[in-house]
Amino acid sequence: MFKRFKRSCLLLIALLLALPLAACQIKPAEKKLEKVRVAEVTHSLFYTPQYVALAKGFFKDEGLDVQVTTTPGGDKTMTALLSNGADIALVGSETSIYVQAQGSSDPVINFAQLTQTDGTFLVAREKIDNFSWDMLKGTTFLGQRKGGMPQMAGEFVLKKHGIDPHKDLTLIQNIDFANIATAFASGTGDFVQLFEPTASIFEKEGKGHVIASFGTESGHIPYTTFMAKESYMKENAKTIESFTKAIYKAQQWVQDTDSKEIAKAIQPYFEDTDLDIMATVIERYKSQGSFATDPILDQEEWDNLQNIMDEAGELPKRIEHETLVNTEIAEKVK
């Protein structure tokens, strides 16, 4: 009987000792993340800070489960936003002006800027050591789609250098965005306006040579921003603020981090792109100041955007900065 009592005591002691260990292994319930649907106009290294926010968990730190879908073209991206197929759009600010000019009762508001220059480069078929813009006169130039920001910025730069894009060269702009690089590679055009990483890939493969930057030439503009319908922003003010905080954190991380390390961090989102090419592209965009260092879209950038649109004959009407831009959120998180 004493042995049974002894065994019972030992068993009880063992159970008491095990309880704290078991308690340590019980994980607290994870906080449920809020789902946010983002429609991006294209999948590009130009949007590096967004992918950093995803890769580094900055959105999750703010309690957000951000799901990004690529909706090629500004029209498709804006359609997704207006039809509630997305909560937030990442697209050129000019699209919000187009929507407002059509008399929208629920304006699309720009609340966080991601890129602040044009993201395209002038690529020549042959290497040019001492390039000057007047070399384009009399040549065939493969430009971007009419009405889009790349095309408007491209024409703005050409005119800035005394070139009439519709008289001084043969301008081709009826090729779909996705097929421009292929058309140039197959022999169309003497010069082409390309985004990265295509421009750097062409250089590596000997298909072309980067000779100038449209981003450097056209100055600061709200090239791509995060925007949402005014109604969504009012109903989800905390969500928008948390989203902007994550973006700002990513922008700062990009500014303070080596391009190779950035490339490694976001490589899962660009599995088919060579890591060295990624680092080259990111460094090229960083060095020319394409990535915004904070989410604030200021008055000067907004005016420059509308001046470029007006020069291209694509500005339906001038819209005041405060009508379509909310800087309060960005200023608060900064």
Q: Using one digit for the tens of pLDDT, what is the confidence trace for 128-141?
A: 999 999 999 999 99
Tell me whether domains 34-117+221-333 and 120-218 share a fold: yes
What is the model's pLDDT at position 14?
A: 46
How many residues are given for the chain?
334
The Cα-based distances of 290 to 78, 130, 193, 215 in angstroms read 23, 24, 16, 7
Q: Would the pLDDT of 8 be above 70?
A: no
Q: Would the pLDDT of 163 be above 90?
A: yes
Q: Domain 120-218, what architecture?
A: 3-Layer(aba) Sandwich (3.40)
What is the model's pLDDT at position 19?
A: 44
What is the model's pLDDT at position 11?
A: 46
What is the model's pLDDT at position 210?
A: 95
Indicate the pTM of the whole model: 0.86
Say how many C-beta atoms besides its own lie within 10 A of residue 210's C-beta. Answer: 16
The answer to whether the CB of 332 falls within 8 A of the CB of 241 is yes
DSSP assigned state of 178: G
Question: Where in the chain are the domains?
Answer: 34-117+221-333, 120-218
What is the model's pLDDT at position 176?
A: 83
Per-residue pLDDT of 281-292, as tens digits, reads 999 999 999 999
Confidence of residue 116 (pLDDT cuts 50, 70, 90): very high
Per-residue pLDDT of 295-326, as tens digits, reads 999 999 999 999 999 988 999 999 999 999 99
Q: Once rounded to an integer, what is the mean pLDDT over residues 54-64? A: 98
Q: Once rounded to an integer, what is the mean pLDDT over residues 61-70? A: 98
Candidate CATH numbers 3.40.190.10, 3.30.559.10, 1.20.120.1200, 3.30.930.10; the one for domain 34-117+221-333: 3.40.190.10
* Mean per-residue pLDDT of the chain: 91
What is the model's pLDDT at position 147?
A: 75
